[in-house]
Amino acid sequence: MPAVISISVLTTLVWLLLGREFGYALARGISVLVISCPCALGLATPVAIMVGNGLGARNGILFKTAASLEAAGRTQIVALDKTGTITSGKFEFVRCECVHCHCIDKHNHRELLRIIAACERLSTHPIAKSICLAFGQFADDCVVTDAKNYAGMGVSAVVDGVRYYAGNEKLMQKIGVPFTETQLVGTAVYCCTDTEFLGDIVFADIIKTDSREAIDRLHRMGMKQAIMLTGDRESIAADIAAKAGLDGYYAKLLPEEKVQRVQALQQQGHTVLYAGDGINDAPVLAAADLGVAMGGAGADVAIEASDMVIQGDSLSQLPVGVTVARKTVGIARENIIFAIAVKLLIILGCAVGIFDENAMWLAVFGDVGVCLLAVANALRVLHIRKKKK
């Protein structure tokens, strides 16, 4: 504002020094002052962002801040969690094997299933929910106390007075109990006490029907990479990555290791989007340039840590959100460039006397007219439509 007022006063003084009458010189100075009013610049970005946020909300996408929307528009690499993001998070039972009876009939493993279901009773992980849904009735009579969660590894609990552990191979290694790792493609939950390995059950996660199309669309939009970061085994990660059309994957990652992977990509100069839904995803959601929470079945802590929330669980909404963000940021830039260019042109014309007869109405157009044009241009964001299959 000091600069604008100074230019206006200087314009008036210059014309007076050139011998023009006071009224003429004052009119030139006022014209410069009117055109310099920053209304159009003030509305250029906020209106575009408001319209972009509205369109996102209409498609079930919530951008928490303007910075979130801008980061989505700059995204170069997409990193995705597996369970509940690429896959449905609804696990189907594949096999149960007990060390003591060596039988693969789940009905003959009632005791093992009972212990695992009891341990998983208080967990909110999708695998735990699937186990409790399938075998929870076996553990109805169990007394469960002192339940603990091991981030990225599993859970433990005292069941009927005995401490049991249920989780992945990292949890077994942490406890230090010798165990046999399953070779089946699927998510394995191993069970042990402090001294003895009891057996395992295997569930298979199903890829979402729209995951492949969503990732293909992200590639067509010019994303440099779409990768998967998962705590599951190598064989599972390879299978899901191939089915989903991903560029790569990293398996057997703990939450802090996911953060390290994202930070490594950021250090290479990339803008990284990470999408996930679980409690274990909260650290990496916060670390990414844009954390996206799958809000339909996502954990509250993941939603809180994210910058953008997809209300449903459909991955196809992710490219829609990126498209809205890119269009919004592009239009905001157009508004700023247009407003500055028009204002500079009219300020120059008014100051040097090119627009002698029309200076005042041109100044008004440069203020109010450009402001209205910026608002109208921002409404172009509404022409984005969600791509139908």
Residues tagged active-site: 81
* Two structure tokens written together for 233: 């085994």
Specify the DSSP class assigned to residue 98.
E
Residues 6+ apart with CB under 8 A from 274: 78, 79, 80, 81, 229, 258, 262, 281, 284, 285, 287, 288, 290, 291, 292
- Cα gap 163→178, rounded to integer Å: 17
Sheet of 144-150: strand order equals 87-98, 197-207, 187-192, 162-167, 154-159, 144-150
CA angle in degrees (0–180, nearest 5) for 307-312-318:
55
The residue type found at 198 is L
CA angle in degrees (0–180, nearest 5) for 149-153-159:
50
Nearest to 290 by CA among 268, 266, 324: 266
Phi, psi of 30 (to 5 degrees): -65, -40
Q: How many residues does the chain have?
A: 389
